[in-house]
């Protein structure tokens, strides 16, 4: 497996996670801002709905990238998806941290982890 097989979905995982967090936080925070100003209710609802739609798109990228990465590192993607969705608030963060750490470890390779590769063990 090449680095690009993991690096590209890892970027989608990062962008999906942070895009989801940011768009959801802005969707929640924009209502009080519009309520404090003299903006129309229509404008407030349009902005909130656009931010919630962005949240859905980013979340879709996140969950898709999570499943792709799980499959490419040899894990069962269904377990990652079910575990993340079953504990949604914490599972979203936990699956992000766990998968990002596993993929970074895979990208660094066995030499960077300090474990000998299979070929070097067999030849010794």
**How far is Cα 24 from Cα 2, in angstroms, rounded to an integer?**
34
| Tens-place pLDDT, residues 59-114 | 999 999 999 999 998 899 999 999 888 887 788 888 888 898 998 888 887 554 45
- Cα atoms in the 13 Å half-sphere on the side-chain side of 53: 6
**Confidence band for 1, pLDDT divided at 50, 70 and 90:** low
Tokens of 25: 């936080």
Domain assignment present for 123: no
Domain assignment present for 85: yes
Length of the chain measured in residues: 124
**Confidence band for 119, pLDDT divided at 50, 70 and 90:** very low
Domain assignment present for 116: no
| Tens-place pLDDT, residues 18-30 | 999 999 999 998 8
Instruction: Tell me how far the alpha carbon of residue 7 is from its chain's centroid.
Output: 13
End-to-end CA distance of the chain: 25
Domain assignment present for 118: no
SS3 per residue for 18-60: HHHHHHHHHHHHHHHHHHHCCCCHHHHHHHHHHHHHHHHHHHH
**What average pLDDT score do residues 41-46 get?**
83
Domain assignment present for 31: yes
Domain assignment present for 114: no
Q: Containing domain of residue 19, as a range? A: 3-108
**How far is Cα 20 from Cα 53, in angstroms, rounded to an integer?**
10
Domain assignment present for 78: yes
What's the predicted TM-score (pTM) here? 0.76
For 28-37, 85-94, 113-122, which range has the lowest pLDDT when averaged over its residues? 113-122
* Domain tally, the chain: 1
Domain assignment present for 9: yes
């Amino acid at each position: 497996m090449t680095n690009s097989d993991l690096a590209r979905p890892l970027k989608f995982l990062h962008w999906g996670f942070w895009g989801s967090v940011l768009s959801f936080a802005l969707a929640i925070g924009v209502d009080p801002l519009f309520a404090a100003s003299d903006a129309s209710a229509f404008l407030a609802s349009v902005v909130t709905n656009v931010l919630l739609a962005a949240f859905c798109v980013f979340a879709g990228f996140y969950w898709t990238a999570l499943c792709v990465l799980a499959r490419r590192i040899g894990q069962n993607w269904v377990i990652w998806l079910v575990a993340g969705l079953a504990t949604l608030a914490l599972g979203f963060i936990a699956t992000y941290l766990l998968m990002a750490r596993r993929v970074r470890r895979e990208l660094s390779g066995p030499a960077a982890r300090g474990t000998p590769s299979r070929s070097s063990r067999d030849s010794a």
